[in-house]
Amino acid sequence: MAEADAPRLSLSGITRIYDGVPAVSDLTLDVGRGEIVCLLGPSGCGKSTTLRIAAGVEHQTSGSVAVDGHVVSDARRHAPPEARSVGLMFQDFALFPHLTARDNVAFGLRGGRDKGKTADEYLRRVGLKGYGDKFPHQLSGGEQQRVALARALAPKPKVMLMDEPFSGLDERLRDEVRDEALSILKEEGAGVLLVTHDPDEAMRMSDRIALMRDSRIVQIGAPYHLYNKPVDRAAAAFFSDLNVIHGVVNSRQTDTPFGLFLTPGLVDEADVEIIVRPQHLKIDLDAGVPPPASARTGAPARGVVERARFMGNESLIEVRMDHDASILRATVPEAFLPEKGTPLWLSLRRDRCFVFPCARQSKVETPWAAE
């Protein structure tokens, strides 16, 4: 493959084992030029280990790492971090306290007297024009993070590896610095591999998300794809709260108080879970007669309000269902606070439901959208 056509970063069959226990298992992932790929998952799933292997600070047990089509680590070779054209940014940005902002950015650059000019240019690009002579203790946390970003960008790395580098900043500043950083990286044409455990951050930042669990990538794709076509219940739950409606398969369909759902591929009497997010439940106040069923929402089911809370930009209504006393949660994008015990009907967006076998049964590769 020509260098111009090769991914900025290729991880192929990466496995890392500690004391017989895999931290990363057979992971394969490409990051293209100007692409931002996010490794998302809970603590201990292998995200940071993957990043360290890509950086060269850790050696994989098996598999290979390539940058711009050139193998930098496999069973026969292992290039050190400084020979990989890789930039690193971590939560602890570790500026040198005895160096000015300019000298921190210039540290490690080649070019003699031009290093200062390059450092000043990158300080300008991250919004710190005129800050070159300041020392880290004279800068705010956000300004120090920008210096760290300029230092990582100045060598023009082909790949930028970022391990939750913005999590130490307050929310407003985090959004500003993060968006600015990723914009510059895209402009530079770097491939970005970023680690986070925050699904909202991953959805906002990435072109693609690689969802990890138990040392493996379980699903990869655009944020819209992972949110709307989760591979299993756990994948769906990582991005939002869920309601679970239980049922039993009969003749390739499952009967519920909300109507019939198609469940192809499962044998009769198999237990299934019908998943729906709170925002996809519709509330109708009880007027004695249920609202009409429709192809879009199916049949309504009756319940009573258990609790209602205003959350700032929406209201969360907990409903105890008549048919099995389970609690379902619905959100309403306004102030809506019915009293406890208020009867109502719930309908659900059938095109936003997913049907999975119960977790104790065999896993499936893809969910069935309810019909």
What percentage of the chain has pLDDT greater than the value 70? 93
Q: How far is CA 154 from the centre of its chain?
A: 27
194-215 pLDDT, tens digit each: 999 899 989 998 999 999 999 9
In order of their start, the domains of the chain are 3-233 (3.40.50.300), 240-369 (2.40.50.140)
DSSP sequence for 5-61? GS-SEEEEEEEEEETTEEEEEEEEEEE-TT-EEEEE--TTSSHHHHHHHHHTSS--S
Please state the φ and ψ torsions of residue 112, each to the nearest 5 degrees. 60, -125
In this structure, are residues 298 and 258 in contact, taking their beta carbons and an 8 Å threshold?
yes
pLDDT higher than 50, residue 368: no
Residue 203: in which H helix or E strand, if any?
helix 199-205
Burial class (CB in 10 A: 0-12, 13-18, 19+), 262: middle
Listed range (22-36, 123-137, 204-218, 352-366) with the worst mean pLDDT:
352-366
Tell me how far apart the alpha carbons of residues 198 and 50 are, in angstroms, rounded to a whole number.
17
Give the residue-averaged pLDDT of 28-36.
96
Residue 362 has what pLDDT? 43
136-162 pLDDT, tens digit each: 999 988 888 889 888 988 888 999 999
Which pLDDT band, with edges at 50, 70 and 90, does 360 fall under?
Answer: low
In this structure, are residues 261 and 274 in contact, taking their beta carbons and an 8 Å threshold?
yes
Burial class (CB in 10 A: 0-12, 13-18, 19+), 217: buried
pLDDT higher than 50, residue 112: yes
Residue 292 has what pLDDT? 87
At 342, list the tokens: 């208020």
pLDDT higher than 90, residue 175: no
Classify residue 295 as left (phi > 0), alpha (psi -120 to 50) or beta.
alpha
pLDDT higher than 70, residue 231: yes
Residue 109 has what pLDDT? 86
Residue 275: in which H helix or E strand, if any?
strand 271-276
One-letter amino acid at 74 equals D
In this structure, are residues 356 and 242 in contact, taking their beta carbons and an 8 Å threshold?
no
Mean pLDDT of the chain: 89
Residue 143 has what pLDDT? 87
Tell me how far apart the alpha carbons of residues 19 and 178 are, in angstroms, rounded to a whole number.
37
pTM of the model: 0.87
In this structure, are residues 131 and 143 in contact, taking their beta carbons and an 8 Å threshold?
yes
Tell me how far apart the alpha carbons of residues 129 and 37 are, in angstroms, rounded to a whole number.
30
